[in-house]
Structure 1
């Protein structure tokens, strides 16, 4: 029975409706009702919609319930796209099961992940047959994978505790270039194929933004056809779209490709397989690999010689800035592999060799395009990573603006589309996001948070502090002292959010030297989720983080009662993409600061501040240590964007505030 046949939105979400009767701890929220009704209307009219729903609105159910009704009513399929894994997990493990199990809405749903997340049974069997000499000291890990493979139902990488870059997984995961499809002898055991069948049978697909755009780039070959999209965490859409409408190629990718063909150090690679190639073909391929590897070392080595050690990003504005010499050896390697594949009788082996040839060709094309700056309207740059050994050097290209791409490939062909987040507006207006994304014809809805921040939040602004631009060292010292005193008052239980790793490390060291009484956790010490687990478990800990901890992190309750913002989160003006966007705005007659840098920083500040209050019972302090929020004329825009709450410059007020919060030791 669909929602429209049973009751209307008002009754379904009302104080005595089905949600109240079936869901434990349900709280009636007028904002949730308003959002659900607008989503329902957008779906019915196949329109476009922007919804800013403050934290605590209950936005996921507000779009899931009408979306479920809409797909069931017309035998349709819809996508819910998120930015973070945390929200994906919430949707798959909590929200969607509630619709089925507690609300009796008979929808089918599936989590969609990229192909490389799945074990390829055929490649795994081949890997075991060929032996593991390519990866020294890996026998324990291989034994663990064999044991896991015998019991896994889904074959997902996330079920294994693997480092982000794992050479074994690269050898045994699904690769589209090496996939035989239905002709594969392991097709009946294919985890990806089984997942794809679940997706074909589902009404609602949960994906992340990266996979959504990967599907666009593939011409729709990654996901099943769909009729509607809800973008949650839509404030991140511009950056993700920019990544996918450009390209990235690094020395590590080239090295991995060459090692997959032939690694002379470990005597591994596909040319080492017995009886696969004729002896002359083996000799030719090995020679081509040597030439390509030498050319790669020269090409990327010259970049390091020219632009020095990292980390850094260097914008390339003119052709001729880089020497060539790499694309031709890669093209010759691709030709040698293609020619050798013609004599391979085994279809599985032939497909794998053809896949390696295709990758070599694609790399050569990307390098040639970069050297000639072929992509109009794109910014081109080189990134140089940290360290001295195995330093990553990469070529990048990305569109300066994504609005035209999104109009053409998303908003014009797809109806309906809804975008939502807790932070989509600047000064209560959607103008900035509309312009950046090209979402011109969308209706809009702005809903405040139902949380009582006026009574539960205190904003602290230090009475005086050095300017971070004019006195950077004095500012760091000031931040360390303020942070230490705030942590003493809050007894830990804090996030300290930075805009750079360098400053995070400096402040963390200084706070430690000042004799911090609490556990200090620092981003980079552990994987993100493990770090968060430790923070939640140790109620007197503090987490120092950058970028990824400003958003998509949910720590309700007494574990988090203070969020310290060290600097206003402006994009770095010299970053190649930021610089190119600012130049384009200036050429179009806009002020780059007020039309781009300032709104972007306001939205990020709102994300960071939003980590603090996650439930009706939460209380805490927001501290902004950057004096520019008071001393610069634009500071009022930041302050006006924050939730309504009292403001203080007194540490005594901070002490009194925390003394009123009962905390278990």
Structure 2
């Protein structure tokens, strides 16, 4: 039987059929029996003007289509192509909706055959792709897609993708193909028909042997190589002269720019490691900081047969280190090194849980697609690390069910033990010379007593200015209604699907009884559910009352509530009762689990239920401890506070705790015990002094080595600082008025720089108001406006979208001020909405300032100002990332020139050309500078 696919692509006057947009180009490629047999393309007259945006996007203008046929003239030919065919397109709903509309208008019945969406197919076959845009996929596969957004070129590229994916599907292991087929019925296009045909063909021939795969319980996966001891030369000398270092660097960089400070930094790091010292090294942007510590670390590790742990702030930075910097390092070193990456356990897939999820037939679209992506990914991945996957937001929720955990089921699920990705990552880390991790893992896993010491006490801390944040989060805790209620709901009472019912059944089974309920547990659970509602209702009401009196916005310290003793007393009593209930329930659940394990032989499904019960028991015991600490046993060194939304119900009150000085506690508890620690960042000093950072991290070591290596960039030639003079002072007008002024400047700056613009905010509410104003702007209709917390909560996803579209404006808050690398013309304009002072009402800031005041210090000079300057320097550092970059830095906060401390901000960044501007002149200033 002949299998015929018609691959279609359209260019249109816009993206909405309902708004009357029309087709301006139709193209199709015909595939029969996996061969391209025909092509057809034509421009079409839409009988309406083509907008400048569509002309720029597609290259199609009014002149090209004015003499082209109307759709009605080519409709018979198009219908002939579509007859008895499967309709294929990249985003099939878009193309098909336009085509159906035009065909219906011409009196045809439309197309009602099968469809295949190559976006959907690409998500399955390329689960790790950073983007599913046709141009990106074509480039990755090496296709000659020379005219993106022209229908004939797009249709041909889509046809090539389809043929490639069909060929790859035919090569998949039969077990994977069968799993994909079962799941494919939940997809939006008829990919199931394609897989069914391939499956039928495969079943009629001899099985394909896959030597690089292993199959366990119906899941095929890549065989994992064990770490082999390489023939390694330990008798190597660290390059002493600059010439030796330059020769080495040139092996990785053909157009190497020699940076003396990078060479000096290498020596400083090597000396600190060799002499077992504590060192703090500030390395300016563009210096090559990462190789500045990687090269000496590699030499030291090999010479001394010791492992070095290298930690950076985020997983994104960790991945950048892994995929880019380590490749350069290997290219230049005259010896081989073993590297490993280790992240928190929850980053790795649990194959035991995935096996169970595959057997659960609850497949709505997102979970079915995620399962299909993971099945294909397991044939490729060597790490099992979730960050390799590009999941939908629904797929991310599904992943939460698959996270690796050292839980009951895994401990007793021995058949999957040898396939545990996290354990393998840990073993590789123990055998590696350089171990790459992130601050969160360093705090939660590496320093836990359960984990063996992997780095012999030698640490390199990159992005060290973020260390206190990571320490405080690790040492802190949080409580909220939704998390607790979800756990209680899991237990249930009389519902046969819930855990208490299943637990009772298993206990009765081992005791040889039937239908005996644990009445004490049932009653405790009912009381806990009722009292939880009462507790958060009372907490919310008290928050509102105290907030009205104190004019607090949405944060309060618990101490402020406790001051109202009469109202707080019932709340404290409820917290004590809940704590007792949770503690007793946790103990009862754990005892029942122990009884079942000692007296019975639970099956696989029962083990998973026991695992969940043990997890809930642990959670309840932890909540019992937290409630006790929050409401009856406060520690002086810890701050306890609440956050809530005035317009939300009582369920949306969140309780938090953090040590007031997280860095110093972490230092004394962990880092001071290490053999050698090197802390590095592009911003560690304030006004030329390292005292603020030393105080923040509790570094009181007089022997500590301090180094500062400035950036090699000539900022005078690279950056122009623009300070608007016609914007009102931020503290003298409402957020709405200030946002209107900011939006006007963003609009002008974005047009002048053709997008490629990052806007940094200090507060989410200001960002949202500005986002709404920009979305209404007619001038910015052709711009892609991306806003943190609105367009997406994922920083990495927002950055990908920003990089993939030329005319982009990215609005970000806290996490976008640092750790963001956008080199080249990706970013040419950076606008700072206001100087990055933390809100004075932020509880942690208040507590730290109070401590400084109590010892006779000046909180503004010692903490608030240095913290803001550090963040300002980090923000400035986003603009220039390479020697070729050039950009405009706009600071909209007039305090930078109108206050005495504003000069401290200006002195904190390199000397740049500065100009005061008004709204009507900024356009000229930006265009002149960038040209």
Task: Output the TM-score relative to the length of structure 1.
Answer: 0.92
Indicate the SS of the match to 1:317: helix
Give how far 1:206 is off.
1.1
Deviates more, 1:171-180 or 1:112-121: 171-180
2:687 to 400, 403, 427: 427
Cα contact 1:51–1:446 (8 A) shared by 2: yes
Cα contact 1:383–1:395 (8 A) shared by 2: yes
Cα contact 1:314–1:381 (8 A) shared by 2: yes
Deviates more, 1:135-144 or 1:362-371: 135-144
Q: Residue 462 of structure 1 corresponds to which residue in structure 2?
A: 724
Q: Residue 223 of structure 2 corresponds to which residue in structure 1?
A: none
Deviations 1:508-534 (A, max 9, x none): 333444533333221221232222122
Q: Residue 312 of structure 1 corresponds to which residue in structure 2?
A: 554
Give the Cα–Cα distance (whole angstroms) in 2 for the partners of residues 403 and 381 of structure 1: 19
Deviations 1:524-547 (A, max 9, x none): 212322221221122222111111
Cα contact 2:341–2:437 (8 A) shared by 1: yes
Deviations 1:217-253 (A, max 9, x none): 5225276353211111111111111111222222232
Q: Residue 415 of structure 1 corresponds to which residue in structure 2?
A: 675
Q: Residue 341 of structure 2 corresponds to which residue in structure 1?
A: 111
Indicate the SS of the match to 1:394: strand
Cα contact 1:460–1:621 (8 A) shared by 2: yes
Q: Residue 587 of structure 2 corresponds to which residue in structure 1?
A: 335
Residues 170 and 521 (structure 1 numbering): CA distance in 2 closer, same or farther, change over 3 Å? closer
Cα contact 2:344–2:445 (8 A) shared by 1: no
Deviates more, 1:382-391 or 1:18-27: 382-391
The structure with more radius of gyration:
2
Cα contact 2:748–2:923 (8 A) shared by 1: no
Deviations 1:292-348 (A, max 9, x none): 222222222222222249982221117564332321221221132123223312474
Give how far 1:393 is off.
2.9
Residues 149 and 460 (structure 1 numbering): CA distance in 2 closer, same or farther, change over 3 Å? closer
Give the Cα–Cα distance (whole angstroms) in 2 for the partners of residues 514 and 260 of structure 1: 47
1:519 to 771, 774, 784: 784
1:377 to 637, 648, 652: 637
Matched, 1:147 2:375: yes
Give the Cα–Cα distance (whole angstroms) in 1 for the partners of residues 830 and 240 of structure 2: 40
2:836 to 566, 569, 579: 569
Cα contact 2:786–2:808 (8 A) shared by 1: yes
What's the Cα RMSD here?
2.9
Q: Residue 368 of structure 1 corresponds to which residue in structure 2?
A: 628
Give how far 1:274 is off.
9.1
Residues 559 and 403 (structure 1 numbering): CA distance in 2 closer, same or farther, change over 3 Å? closer
Q: Residue 216 of structure 2 corresponds to which residue in structure 1?
A: none
Q: Residue 552 of structure 1 corresponds to which residue in structure 2?
A: 819
Residues 488 and 539 (structure 1 numbering): CA distance in 2 closer, same or farther, change over 3 Å? same
Give how far 1:281 is off.
4.8
Indicate the SS of the match to 1:280: coil
Give the Cα–Cα distance (whole angstroms) in 1 for the partners of residues 382 and 354 of structure 2: 16
- 1:25-44 to structure 2, matched below 5 A, reads 25-44=255-274
- 1:392-407 to structure 2, matched below 5 A, reads 392-407=652-667
Residues 336 and 220 (structure 1 numbering): CA distance in 2 closer, same or farther, change over 3 Å? closer
- 1:467-616 to structure 2, matched below 5 A, reads 467-472=729-734, 473-517=736-780, 518-524=783-789, 525-526=791-792, 527-616=794-883
Gaps of 5+ in 2: 1-232, 509-514
Give the Cα–Cα distance (whole angstroms) in 2 for the partners of residues 468 and 236 of structure 1: 27
Q: Residue 8 of structure 1 corresponds to which residue in structure 2?
A: 240
Residues 4 and 234 (structure 1 numbering): CA distance in 2 closer, same or farther, change over 3 Å? same
Residues 176 and 259 (structure 1 numbering): CA distance in 2 closer, same or farther, change over 3 Å? farther
Q: Residue 23 of structure 1 corresponds to which residue in structure 2?
A: 253
Cα contact 1:250–1:393 (8 A) shared by 2: yes
Indicate the SS of the match to 2:635: coil
Give how far 1:399 is off.
1.1
Residues 183 and 535 (structure 1 numbering): CA distance in 2 closer, same or farther, change over 3 Å? closer
Cα contact 1:411–1:439 (8 A) shared by 2: no
Deviations 1:175-213 (A, max 9, x none): 224365487332112122222221121111111111111
Q: Residue 200 of structure 2 corresponds to which residue in structure 1?
A: none
Matched, 1:98 2:98: no
Deviates more, 1:475-484 or 1:239-248: 475-484
Residues 53 and 143 (structure 1 numbering): CA distance in 2 closer, same or farther, change over 3 Å? closer
Gaps of 5+ in 1: none
Give the Cα–Cα distance (whole angstroms) in 1 for the partners of residues 241 and 444 of structure 2: 35
Give the Cα–Cα distance (whole angstroms) in 2 for the partners of residues 248 and 390 of structure 1: 16
Indicate the SS of the match to 2:825: coil
Q: Residue 634 of structure 1 corresponds to which residue in structure 2?
A: 901
Indicate the SS of the match to 1:43: helix
Residues 171 and 273 (structure 1 numbering): CA distance in 2 closer, same or farther, change over 3 Å? farther
Indicate the SS of the match to 2:878: coil
Cα contact 1:22–1:103 (8 A) shared by 2: no
Deviations 1:256-306 (A, max 9, x none): 322443387893446437952324356654444333222222222222222
Give the Cα–Cα distance (whole angstroms) in 1 for the partners of residues 774 and 358 of structure 2: 50
- 1:206-355 to structure 2, matched below 5 A, reads 206-215=436-445, 218-219=448-449, 221=451, 224-262=454-492, 267-269=497-499, 271-272=501-502, 275-278=505-508, 279-281=515-517, 284-308=520-544, 312-317=554-559, 319=562, 321=568, 322-323=571-572, 324=575, 325-344=577-596, 345-346=600-601, 348=607, 350=610, 353-355=613-615
Deviates more, 1:51-60 or 1:185-194: 185-194
Indicate the SS of the match to 2:507: coil
**Structure ranking higher on relative contact order (CA contacts 8 Å, 6+ apart):** 1
Give the Cα–Cα distance (whole angstroms) in 2 for the partners of residues 653 and 145 of structure 1: 48
Number of corresponding residues: 658
Q: Residue 147 of structure 2 corresponds to which residue in structure 1?
A: none
Give the Cα–Cα distance (whole angstroms) in 2 for the partners of residues 629 and 570 of structure 1: 12
Give the Cα–Cα distance (whole angstroms) in 1 for the partners of residues 450 and 255 of structure 2: 40
